[in-house]
Structure 1
Amino acid sequence: MSTSSTANSRTARLIEVFSAIQGEGQNVGTRQIFIRFAQCDLRCHFCDSVHTWEVPESCRIERSPGERDFETHVNPVTQEHLLQWVQRQHQPGLHDSISLTGGEPLLHASFLQSFLPLVRQQTSLPVYLETGGHRPQQLRQILTHLDSIGMDLKLPSVSGETWWQAHRQCLQAAHSAGVEVFVKIIIAAQTDLTDLLQAAQLVAAVSPEIPVFLQPVTPLEQLHPKQVPLAVPRPDQVLAWQSLLKQTLQWVRVIPQTHKMIAQL
């Protein structure tokens, strides 16, 4: 799979656009306009969005915020159309921010570089990026257009992916730019203690004040051939790991995927 951006500055490949409650990390419980981009260059064992790994022929766009009255449009989509769809969702006072999610949104960095100033001008909403935190060059392209970043830190023992250097570069770039950033770490019964220690040291080296969210894995009902089954960590494991990370980090919270508990997309 190519590691270059999948989109030019005028078009993007989408999965969907919709309004929902954010269920993970620092923004949990807030209402967001979600722009879900297609394609990801990672194959995490715990991924619950394997449908975003490739580019579909079409995407689905919600007509009315929260109504799930989707219509279908052909990929790729233009900036103009995406701006229209976001504006249709943007009812006064309803949303707290716009979420760029995926897939991996940074694969569309060239598109976002020109799109984000326009959508910010149109809505005045803060822009929040959800990223795997492994593409520092693309992140630097759009940092000035972001208000906050939720960065996954992939533990090799849980995700099957190893990106320590890239994670460090992304976290440092966001912190140095003064963009609000937090780290999300998926934990499972299989979590290797060495991985957690390395993750804590990586974050602390940038700033011990960066919030870290431990997210117990949500069991998958159906596995992709490139995934392996992961077990939910025991309560005593979670408590011990939080205690360990708090030795070097100021803010370590445990939050599961709350949007699944309330049947949100």
Structure 2
Amino acid sequence: MNYPINEIFQTIQGEGYYTGTPSIFIRLQGCPVRCQWCDTKYTWTCSNNNQISYEELVKKKISDQTWSYINAIQILENIKKKEWTAKHVVITGGEPCIYNLLYLTTELEKQGFKCQIETSGTKIIKCSSNTWVTVSPKQHQNTLPASILRSDEIKYPILKQEDLFYLEKMLSMVKNKKCRVFLQPISQNQEALKICIKNCIIKNWRLSIQLHKYILIK
């Protein structure tokens, strides 16, 4: 199965439960959610005009709208060729769950990788049972209760105190599930950070600060 991929790179995971973990990021093209504060807006549209070859994509040095159809075998070949050592793979976007990720996650696991998906939870999540699922609910979007139930962690973006109302609503729909909740201030906003810290302490949740943006890595 081929997937429209924007970029593949090795770095340190900067968010959520796996913060600090060496990771290989697979960024898929296409997103119907389109958050205002999104820092990967170049992935929103999967236009044929921006399609490039596999050879061109694996040589990309900048983040832009170009993408290529790539399959799991090519991904594994690229990882081996570049001699990347991370064993944690983050499948992100865009919105990766507009695609069926069962085959991709299964093939990566066969080669000893641990997979993580970062999703808004607005689409049905199709992946291996061992895949770590990070759901980041977005206000004014149709976050599926099934996505919250499948999640291993909830990473929730915060700008103001009122943003917490939607999170509480989502959690109330899955009362029998014990959720790992991370609050993440949007765009390093200092007031949002204070709100996150305050509520993490009150609720005994955890803070996610997008470490990669503070230490200036991709």
Asked whether the two chains share a fold, i.e. TM above 0.5, the reply is yes
TM-score bracket, shorter-length normalisation: 0.7 to 0.9
In 1, the alpha carbon distance for the partners of 2:73 and 2:197 equals: 48
98, 108, 121: which one pairs with 1:119?
A: 108
* 1:219-234 mapped onto 2 (5 Å cutoff): 232-234=190-192
- Partner SS state of residue 169, structure 1: helix
Match of 1:216 in 2: 185
Distance 1:38 1:238, change over 3 A: same
1:26-63 per-residue CA deviation (whole Å, 9 max, x = no partner) reads 00000011111111110112211101111231363269
1:168-222 per-residue CA deviation (whole Å, 9 max, x = no partner) reads 11122x26xxxxx00000000363453243244245x1423x2110000116xxx
In 1, the alpha carbon distance for the partners of 2:142 and 2:116 equals: 22
Match of 1:241 in 2: 199
TM-score normalised by L of structure 1: 0.69
- Partner SS state of residue 36, structure 2: coil
Match of 2:132 in 1: 148
In 1, the alpha carbon distance for the partners of 2:146 and 2:187 equals: 28
Q: Which runs of 5+ in 1 are unaligned?
A: 1-9, 176-180, 220-230
58, 62, 84: which one pairs with 1:61?
A: 58
1:114-159 per-residue CA deviation (whole Å, 9 max, x = no partner) reads 233222223x0111111111112xx1x3243x431111022x2xxx
Match of 2:208 in 1: 255
Match of 2:4 in 1: 13
Give 1 or 2 for the bigger CA radius of gyration. Answer: 1
Conservation of the 8 A alpha-carbon contact between 1:33 and 1:89: no
* 1:130-149 mapped onto 2 (5 Å cutoff): 130-136=118-124, 139=125, 141-144=126-129, 146-149=130-133
In 1, the alpha carbon distance for the partners of 2:190 and 2:171 equals: 21
1:162 and 2:144 aligned: no
Match of 2:79 in 1: 86
Match of 1:48 in 2: 39
- Partner SS state of residue 12, structure 1: strand
Aligned residues: 210
- Partner SS state of residue 76, structure 1: strand
Deviation at 1:257, TM superposition (A): 1.0
In 2, the alpha carbon distance for the partners of 1:151 and 1:48 equals: 17
Deviation at 1:90, TM superposition (A): 5.1
Deviation at 1:69, TM superposition (A): 9.8
TM-score normalised by L of structure 2: 0.83
Q: Give the fraction of aligned pairs with identical amino acids, expressed as a percent.
A: 24
Deviation at 1:234, TM superposition (A): 5.0
Distance 1:76 1:192, change over 3 A: closer
Match of 1:5 in 2: none
In 1, the alpha carbon distance for the partners of 2:94 and 2:69 equals: 15
Distance 1:191 1:96, change over 3 A: farther
What is the aligned-residue RMSD (CA, Å)? 2.7
207, 212, 223: which one pairs with 2:177?
A: 207
In 2, the alpha carbon distance for the partners of 1:80 and 1:115 equals: 9
1:22 and 2:10 aligned: no
Q: Which runs of 5+ in 2 are unaligned?
A: none
